Structure 1
């Protein structure tokens, strides 16, 4: 019998008790974006501190200008890991679309041998973070110690933009720095297939405004003679992609690497193609770079997308004007080693080259962060991959994510740590929507998975 086997047995035996603890946390209405729930956010932080102390962690509530952080530490041998999660939740509106009270969690049977936990925060992120806490509880109960040195950071503002997080990390960098971070705010590939996220696309946001005449002009009096900012801007945006869907901004692909062939084949084996991805949203053809698969386009290729365009008269009816100005919101998803500052500068130069001499252009930045990319064969990934495969009896899939998780970049940039992203949510968990749920199998096997991962990391000489 291995050291982890009795821990897994304890998790199985204590599942009902772990559900009651989760339900107690889910009943707390920790909506971070609404100041009316500030006391509830503090209540959730206090609850987590008390629970972690019951396991033997040195835990405390740390004040911030916004909602508090929960920080906890437990000594142990082997690698030092920092686990991150967030206890705040999204608002529940529209309330009339919920089948039950969003803060009265319950267990429902939706099919033979399939039960779900329902309630706001069940998947995002209270159910997820408690899988790790329960793994620690069971390990400590069985062995009287934890397999690694573990620190925990639970945030209370993730759903409202994390305004306090970066300053907190900077102020407490020495205390929070570990060998690597563990983040459980991601998903499985499907209900039976675990996944490890090894890549997150970065982001650059820009708002561009082209100005022409000093006022809106009558298109009959000035049409054909005066510069039209809408036409100029439309031309600029059109020039940003070639006929094959590639971005034409000079230097845009600097730092972009090709995905290893074996990884592309593993993604192909998942069965997600253009049809299965696009049909549910009423589309059928891939619009990005030609010759790339659907998953490669959203997981491993950079993009330039237009998120809004406006200018001139946009009200009811018709008004024949040449607008004095036109604006667009443009976002770039970055991969691998692309530099956000270089992308922003290259975009601005690209636009300026296309603006007539008697017109002007202004830019407003809207954030920027680099991509996160772990090596597909890093010891951290392969160790966790083996542990997950053993638990789920299916190979854990190395995936990437088209979106961004800013905390992962902050851990890397501010604390010098890579992050292992392992989550047990599903795409149909309805996070941020009415009737949020979390599979009971995700909660139960998520606990067992973390126990296996911690045990494997402690034993792996490559993880030290």
Structure 2
């Protein structure tokens, strides 16, 4: 065991307590009332980076939200510069009634730490920080030059980051990005994700009377906005699960048969996957497997509907309006703005009589991301994962999105290795989110080994 590995082992209890402190801050970026908490989280991170030995970490700002930047650039001109990325904002916690404990009061049970943000992404992004500390405390230096960028708006798809990255190209210049936001396949199988889907979002409002009206005196004579919204939403897919929006699939790059075979050769227990979410059978676009539907095919989902009376009992009204939130997951070469506009145009052509329609394309967009499996960064990560897990990693594509990765690719000209150590069942974005402490420790060993290997890699 090396000195830095011994340091990590000896300080695990301290690191877990620090993670608990981090998790207690309710840094929900989607809710304006929690914006001060997002800033508090940034201040906590600055102090943690200072104690780790990072030079003059600072809070930067994009829109209303903070980012934390730090660097250690003393490895020399011949050493590569690695930008470490993560995010410290978290998802909303509703429904609160389904949490076993308050979501910002971390608790440990069965070697798992539970709290909102435990796996996505506070626990994961703390991993490289403690590794940098271990290397600096024991070796006095790092094997590579390091820059760190942690953001506070990833969970709302980083709307202010395009302008920020463009304005800070020189400061952020690097040879490779490594993301602490990610996960592995299982406790015994490693995973390198070479692609992420992109995303676009819309808010759809159907309006009728200027205010809620009595359903007895007006019912049957006025169009009901909820009915109109339901009609519009039901027409977005056909019975085979395909999206009916004209042009939706026009730019989708077809996978070769070899690529499909490679993807479907990865072990996938569909029955277990269905059981975990409490569903008896899959559904989706015909002609594709479940693995293909959640990784390489685009989607359109209705994420929420509101309108009319939501309280106990009955209130006999025709509501004034009804609203739905829609998101689309995108694949290469779909463009977020173009797809969002196509959905909006399609809805406007189908407005039922008696109601009006407003479609707002939200600024929360993300381009699809792809990195070749034979990229030197991926190959270095694959070697490390094989050493840590005792078997070669799978190469997969993820159904999720990280908006900043394509921005790094477009603005900085570098790819991102996705190197997180959460697992798919850890309830990120759901009640009772958790992070396995064994993965927390395993991730530390892997990050240390990766930095050492990257020092000898031509990027």
Match of 2:81 in 1: 80
Match of 1:401 in 2: 398
Q: 2:388 aligns with which of 371, 387, 391?
A: 391
Match of 2:12 in 1: 19
Match of 2:332 in 1: 336
Match of 2:285 in 1: 289
Match of 1:47 in 2: 47
Q: 1:226, 1:434 → 2: CA distance?
A: 40
| Structure 1 residue 416: Cα displacement | 3.9
| Structure 1 residue 175: Cα displacement | 0.3
| Structure 1 residue 191: Cα displacement | 0.7
Higher mean displacement: 266-275 or 79-88:
266-275
Q: Is the 8 A contact 1:78 1:149 kept in 2?
A: yes
Higher mean displacement: 379-388 or 190-199:
379-388
Q: 1:23, 1:439 → 2: CA distance?
A: 11
Q: 2:15, 2:305 → 1: CA distance?
A: 44
Higher mean displacement: 163-172 or 25-34:
163-172
Match of 1:208 in 2: 204
Q: 2:325, 2:102 → 1: CA distance?
A: 37
Match of 1:427 in 2: 424
Q: 1:119, 1:209 → 2: CA distance?
A: 34
Unaligned runs of 5+ in 2: 29-33
1:119 and 1:234, CA in 2 relative to 1: closer, same or farther beyond 3 A?
Answer: closer
1:335 and 1:101, CA in 2 relative to 1: closer, same or farther beyond 3 A?
Answer: closer
Match of 1:193 in 2: 189
Specify the SS of the correspondent of 2:240: coil
Match of 1:452 in 2: 449
Residue 307 of structure 1 pairs with residue 303 of structure 2: yes
Q: 2:377 aligns with which of 344, 358, 380?
A: 380
Match of 1:3 in 2: none
| Structure 1 residue 456: Cα displacement | 3.1
Higher mean displacement: 424-433 or 373-382:
424-433
Q: 1:69, 1:58 → 2: CA distance?
A: 12
| Structure 1 residue 289: Cα displacement | 0.5
Q: 1:275 aligns with which of 271, 275, 278?
A: 271
Count of matched residue positions in the alignment of Structure 1 and Structure 2: 443
Match of 2:31 in 1: none
Q: 2:354, 2:432 → 1: CA distance?
A: 55
Q: 1:91, 1:347 → 2: CA distance?
A: 26
Q: 1:207, 1:311 → 2: CA distance?
A: 13
Q: 2:114, 2:451 → 1: CA distance?
A: 28
Unaligned runs of 5+ in 1: 1-7
Q: Is the 8 A contact 2:192 2:395 kept in 1?
A: yes
Match of 2:247 in 1: 251
Q: 2:68, 2:257 → 1: CA distance?
A: 42
Residue 32 of structure 1 pairs with residue 3 of structure 2: no
1:331 and 1:439, CA in 2 relative to 1: closer, same or farther beyond 3 A?
Answer: closer
Q: 1:118, 1:235 → 2: CA distance?
A: 40
Which runs of structure 2 are paired with 1:127-206 in the superposition (5 Å)?
Answer: 127-137=123-133, 145-155=141-151, 168-206=164-202
Higher mean displacement: 57-66 or 118-127:
118-127
**Higher CA-based Rg:** 1
Q: Is the 8 A contact 2:157 2:402 kept in 1?
A: no
| Structure 1 residue 203: Cα displacement | 1.6
Question: What is the RMSD computed on CA atoms of the aligned residues?
Answer: 3.9
Q: 1:39, 1:288 → 2: CA distance?
A: 40
Q: Is the 8 A contact 1:210 1:325 kept in 2?
A: yes
Specify the SS of the correspondent of 1:398: strand
| Structure 1 residue 423: Cα displacement | 0.8
1:211 and 1:121, CA in 2 relative to 1: closer, same or farther beyond 3 A?
Answer: closer
Return the TM-score normalized by structure 1.
0.79
Q: Is the 8 A contact 1:52 1:72 kept in 2?
A: no
| Structure 1 residue 365: Cα displacement | 1.9
Return the TM-score normalized by structure 2.
0.80
